[in-house]
Amino acid sequence: MEVFEPITSSVNALKTRLHSEQGFQERPCLIRESDGTEIGDNEVVGDLAECARLICITSASISTLESRVAKLDSPGCKYQKYLRWLEGTPAGDPRILQTAWAASILPMPFALNSSKDAGGDDADDDAGHDDDDAPTGKVGLDEVSAAVLHAIDASWGARRRQSQACESDAVEVLDRTGAGHNLQRQVPVTTSTAEKLSRLSWEALKQALMPHYDADAHAKLLKSVLGGSNDGACTLSDDLDSGDCKRSDVLRTLLAECDQIMCRDTKEFVKKNVGTLELCGHGRQQGAYQSLLKVASCTRTRLWA
C-alpha cells in the first residue's frame, strides 16, 4: 500500500491512521525491510530513510471479512416488505458495506430482561419487535447516533436524500479545531446540528464519525453477519469459499430495521429527538432503532427478517 503522511507526524500517529483507514482489526506493527527491526512509536516519519520500504504486519483486515460477506445471498426478498427494495442487490454492494460500517458505531443497548418491547401502538407481527429479550429502557439518540442514522440514509443516495449540504455546513460539523462542532456521545442533538447532519453526504458523515469508529466492533458485526447469529461467531464463513452462498438473517434484519427508520423519514425521526436523550418519535421507528442497536452490537435478539 502507499500512504502519504506529514514528515512531522510520529510513527504512532501513522499506525493510528492505518488502523482506522485500512480497517485493520488491531494496530499494525511496522518493520524496516532493510534490517527487519521494528520502528518505535516515538520515531518521527521525517527521520525515516528516504524511500525506505516498510513491512506492515497486522491481523486479518476488515476488507477480508467484507469480501466474504460479498459471497452471501442477496438480502433482498420479494416476500418481506422491508427487504423488497433490496431485491437483486448483492450482499457486497458498497452501500450495504457502508451501512454495516456505520451501524457498528451505534451504542450498546441497555441491559436486557424478559419484558416485551411493544415497538409502539402500530406495531405488527412482521416488524420483529415482539421478542422476549427487549431492553429495560430505550436508548435515545445522541449526536453520534443521529449521525450514524443519517450516514446510513445518505449511503443509499437518491432513494433517500433530497438535498445536499452546503460547504459551510460540512466545515462546521467536521471542524476538528474546536471552533466548529465535534460529535459527542451522550450529548443531545440540537436543532442546528440535526439540520446540518441531514444535508451532509456519506463521505462527510463518515469523516465526522471516524473518531468514534472501532475496527474490533466492526469486525465483530461482520463476523455475526457471516455466522448468521448474534454472538459474533463466524460459523458459515468456511463454507463460502465453496461457492455455496448462504442467507444471513443478521444482515437481512439489520437492513430491514434500517428501512423501517428510513422509509418513515430519518430526518423527522432525528428532529423528534432534538434536545433529549429519551427516545421519542414514531413508534415503529423507535422499535426499529432499539432492534438495530441489538443487531449491530451482536446482542441476542430475534432475527425476524
pLDDT at position 129 is 54
In this prediction, residues 179-192 reach a mean pLDDT of: 83
Backbone angles phi, psi at 10, to 5 degrees: -85, 160
What does residue 66 show for φ and ψ, rounded to 5 degrees?
Answer: -65, -35
Residue 114 has pLDDT above 60, yes or no: no
Report which listed range, 39-48, 124-133, 196-205, 223-232, is most confident.
196-205
pLDDT at 148 over 70: yes
Inform me whether the pLDDT recorded for 229 exceeds 90.
no
Q: Indicate the average pLDDT of the chain.
A: 80
What angle is formed at CA 262 by the lines to CA 275 and CA 108, rounded to 5 degrees? 60
pLDDT in tens, 23-73: 676 678 888 877 778 888 888 988 888 777 888 777 667 888 999 999 999
State how far the Cα of 90 lies from the Cα of 92, in Å rounded to an integer.
5
CB 39 within 8 A of CB 32: yes
Per-residue pLDDT at 60:
60
Q: Are 162 and 135 in contact (CB under 8 A)?
A: no
CA 185 – CA 119 distance, rounded (Å): 24
Confidence check: pLDDT of 131 > 70: no
| Summary count for the chain: helices (H), strands (E) | 12, 2
Q: Residue 31, Cα to own-chain centre: how many angstroms? A: 31
In this prediction, residue 14 has a pLDDT band, given cuts at 50, 70 and 90, of confident
How much is the pLDDT for 128? 54
20 vs 27: CA distance, rounded Å: 9
**How many residues can be counted in the chain?**
305
Cell (9 digits) for 266: 430519518
pLDDT tens digits for 232-252? Answer: 444 444 444 545 558 999 999
Percent of the residues in the chain that have a pLDDT greater than 90, as a whole number = 48
- Residue 2 predicted with pLDDT over 80: no
Nearest-angstrom CA–CA distance, 99 and 228: 17
* Whole-number pLDDT of residue 4: 79
Distance CA 37, CA 41 (A): 13
| Burial of 266: CB neighbours in 10 Å, binned 0-12, 13-18, 19+ | buried
What predicted TM-score, i.e. pTM, was given to this entire model? 0.71
Distance CA 215, CA 221 (A): 10
